[in-house]
Structure 1
Amino acid sequence: MANLTANVTSPAEALTSAPRPMPSRRSFAPTPRLWAVTALVLILATGIFLRAYPSATYSRVGYDEHGYIVFMQQIEKAGLANYGAVVQAYVEDQYRRPDAIVPATRIGFLVPAYLVGQLLNCSPFQALQATSCLAAIMLLGVCAVFAYRAGGTVTMLSLTALVATAPLQIYLSQRALIDGYFAFWAVAALWLAWENLRHPRSWGWLSAYAFSLAVLVLTKENAAFVVFAIFAVLVLNRFLRLGTMTPHLLVATIVGPAIAVLYLAWLVGGVWEWVEFYRMFVAKSRTNWYSIAAQDGPWYRYIVDFFLMSPVIVALAFGRIFQLRMSDRVDVFMTAFLGFSFLVMANVTYGMSLRYAAYWDIPLCWLALSQVTTMSRRLPQARRLLVIAGLVLALAAVGLVQYDRFFIEGAIYDPTTSAMARATGLQK
């Protein structure tokens, strides 16, 4: 009996003495975050390729591009430290000329282009082109960050895809023109204004916002329209309830552009001299044959031009505008900015061009995407995401078709109303 009991194994011993199972390999399952990062990388890579690859068929140097090339050559001769001499030579020449040419005071574009040329050791035209391309790529990044912070992952991927395939943005990135570069700083200022409304009294956001406005003013005279639109939105924030409006934000909106204006006035020779120069410049701009022939029209010309360039995006954006609710704060913010900037830009005699309003692409794409999201709101979550993805891909495809029609087959240099009408077959 003693031997029998000695050979009996207790339950605890049986558990400890049982062979342990071999550890199994962990199965790799992609997480939603990994899918989102992968999709964003693919979208950005596509957008970068579309901007870097020279697909537009217009190969000659345009009139404005030639003017920028001349200034780049003058900066190379005088040196960057003597940029004021380049501006003074331009001012003297402009007073003698009967017409207006692109001004040398666009230092926010010319100086970075000069630095890019020195870094890459390339020609002035290539340096200007590379600067426009780099700005267009950075605009994609700004749109992705803005959309993610304002709307989440799906919004980020969708908006970035729409902007990546926007025909006007692709084209401007391949030219030695200022408009794509200007669009980057305009959208950056718009985004930073929104961030300051959502995060009041943040010195980091305020400093970045004031800096973006200063560079915007140093880049092109049309900055006045962007600053006016942002300022108007901020003033009306009490009624729109977009966020927290602080005196610091108003001061930054004024101080940033004011510093840039004072610097430009110093380059020209003084505040009064700067005022007189721009009065003369505007007057001569209205006598240019090209301004009279191609940059005038009724107040709704921009609407017609954008409908020709991006018809589905504009149709969806208008659909969203007419369904706005005050609770849709980002949509209200975008609509108000579009409205105020349109109010002033649509009333400029002999100064209307689709290129000048290139920064409107981003608010329009946002509103179009918001309309797509609204239309799919009643669907189940899984099906809703599939519908949004399908519609965004369709909109992206339409954007690429429009780019091919205007800038590859049509070989358009300046997308005026008549040029786009001919490319679409509306005008023979």
Structure 2
Amino acid sequence: MNPLFRVVIICLILFSVLSVYVTIPTEENFAKTADEGYYFIFASLVNEGGVSQFPFLAKTYIDNKEARLFPTPLRIGHILSTALWFKLFPNTLVSLAQFSLFCFILFLVVSFYFARRNFNRDVAYLFTLLLSSSPLMMVMGRRALSEMHGNLLWALVIWLFLDFLRKENKIKYFIFLLAYSYSITVRESSIALLLFFALFFFIHKYAYKKSISGAYLLGIAFVPLFLLSTAYVILFQGVGNVLRIVGATLNVHFGIQTSTYALLFCTGPWYRYIVDYLLLSPVTTLLFTGYFCYTTLIRNFEWKTTYFMIYFTLVFIIFSFFRYSKVVRFVINLDMVIALFSVKLLYELFRQKDEQRQTYFVFVTIVALFIINYLSFIDLFCIKGIYDPISHNLLSARKFIP
């Protein structure tokens, strides 16, 4: 790739990050009575009172039906991280949103690093550029929620597992286990990734005929369980407290108790996530769909491509079963696969003998997509003022419904 192209890409990524920073809402414009307010309370209490506050958080969550409609204190990783953030920066919702921006920046760095290791430098630059302009990534990078923190960790564990399968290494495996355990303490839904790891482990071992010890799979299943159990028992001061808060959390996810907001705006058909992605970044989503179908039709199941195809499909299916989770920000990490496959399809579309000419066409197209996505972010979230990227708000902003 021409060095000038790389300079342009870096400048555009920095511009995107700066745009997220300057559009962070003011303190008065955060929803203090919603999830953001609860995350702020969690972080403030632990910042001021230390880890001794966790039993109080657990008791409040278990005893108060209204509290169970909001984030669970099981997200100790996010609570401790934001409490530490409050040690360094002002205790405000704006500061909490800046933590999300920090995670967004780290996510871009992680994405570039591993894309370069597993594909090539040119793909890594273009892939990261496209990710930096994702309207969903940008808006969640300025919210005082846990989604961007969870997205960072999901990206890290997905890339780490791929890297481990590419070349077995016990140090890589240990780092992966720690990262995966941590991700569950940030978003409890991360436990669903265990199904993906198990499924692709068997595919890698038997379909691709790779020699890999089954002990690694047992480690993935039991090491995080041991680490999490130990951390929860210590922080919540007893097995009984842990079991009660886990039960209360499961009742929210699988029971009938929910908020009016979730009942009205967070339910829907299984394909709702795709509709939302089409409303947010239509061209990129169509490119992703094209590459997914193209790869399936020509049966070009190169193992890394298959890895991301199965990851996307399995996460999509699992979250489709959750009745009150039909919100695109809950599956934000799928945007990473959408961006990667979009870049790969463009390389296929512009395939020719002259690689420099091919890279030029892909670069120009990705820059055009960057502009389209960036303008979508500005239109939806800055001009029209959408606060939460739910289907109703997106459909209304795109004038599909009144």
TM-score by length of 2: 0.90
Does residue 229 of structure 2 align to residue 262 of structure 1?
Answer: yes
- 8 Å CA contact retained: 2:74, 2:245: no
Please give the residue correspondences for 1:30-49 in structure 2 after superposition, counting only pairs within 5 Å.
Answer: 38-39=7-8, 41-49=10-18
- 8 Å CA contact retained: 2:13, 2:132: yes
CA distance in 2, matches of 1:326, 1:54: 42
CA distance in 2, matches of 1:284, 1:97: 15
- 8 Å CA contact retained: 2:291, 2:344: yes
User: Which among 337, 341, 344 is matched to residue 367 of structure 1?
Assistant: 341
The answer for the alignment partner of 1:86 in structure 2 is 56
Please give the residue correspondences for 1:71-110 in structure 2 after superposition, counting only pairs within 5 Å.
Answer: 71-77=42-48, 79-94=49-64, 96-97=65-66, 100-110=69-79
The answer for the alignment partner of 1:126 in structure 2 is 94
User: Which among 386, 389, 404 is matched to residue 378 of structure 2?
Assistant: 404
**Cα distance per residue 1:238-280 (max 9 Å; x no partner):** 3553965433531342234313431464145426435433333
Deviates more, 1:359-368 or 1:227-236: 227-236
Code of the residue aligned with 2:347 in structure 1: it is T
The answer for the alignment partner of 2:282 in structure 1 is 311
Code of the residue aligned with 2:279 in structure 1: it is L
* SS of alignment partner, residue 222 of structure 1: helix
The answer for the alignment partner of 1:161 in structure 2 is 129
Cα distance, 1:76 vs structure 2? 3.4
- 8 Å CA contact retained: 1:158, 1:369: yes
Deviates more, 1:238-247 or 1:362-371: 238-247
* SS of alignment partner, residue 378 of structure 1: coil
User: Which among 331, 336, 354 is matched to residue 328 of structure 2?
Assistant: 354
The 1:366/1:33 distance shift into structure 2, 3 A limit, reads same
Cα distance, 1:39 vs structure 2? 5.0
Cα distance, 1:144 vs structure 2? 0.4
Cα distance, 1:211 vs structure 2? 1.1
Equivalent pairs counted in the alignment come to 393
CA distance in 2, matches of 1:424, 1:242: 48
Consecutive unaligned residues in structure 1, runs of 5 or more: 1-31
Cα distance, 1:99 vs structure 2? 5.4
The answer for the alignment partner of 1:173 in structure 2 is 141
TM-score by length of 1: 0.85
The 1:315/1:199 distance shift into structure 2, 3 A limit, reads same
Consecutive unaligned residues in structure 2, runs of 5 or more: none
* SS of alignment partner, residue 299 of structure 1: coil
User: Which among 262, 270, 295 is matched to residue 266 of structure 2?
Assistant: 295
CA distance in 2, matches of 1:108, 1:319: 37
Code of the residue aligned with 2:244 in structure 1: it is E
Deviates more, 1:318-327 or 1:230-239: 230-239
* SS of alignment partner, residue 337 of structure 1: helix
CA distance in 2, matches of 1:52, 1:377: 37
Cα distance, 1:61 vs structure 2? 1.7
- 8 Å CA contact retained: 1:166, 1:400: yes
Cα distance, 1:237 vs structure 2? 1.8
The 1:388/1:357 distance shift into structure 2, 3 A limit, reads same
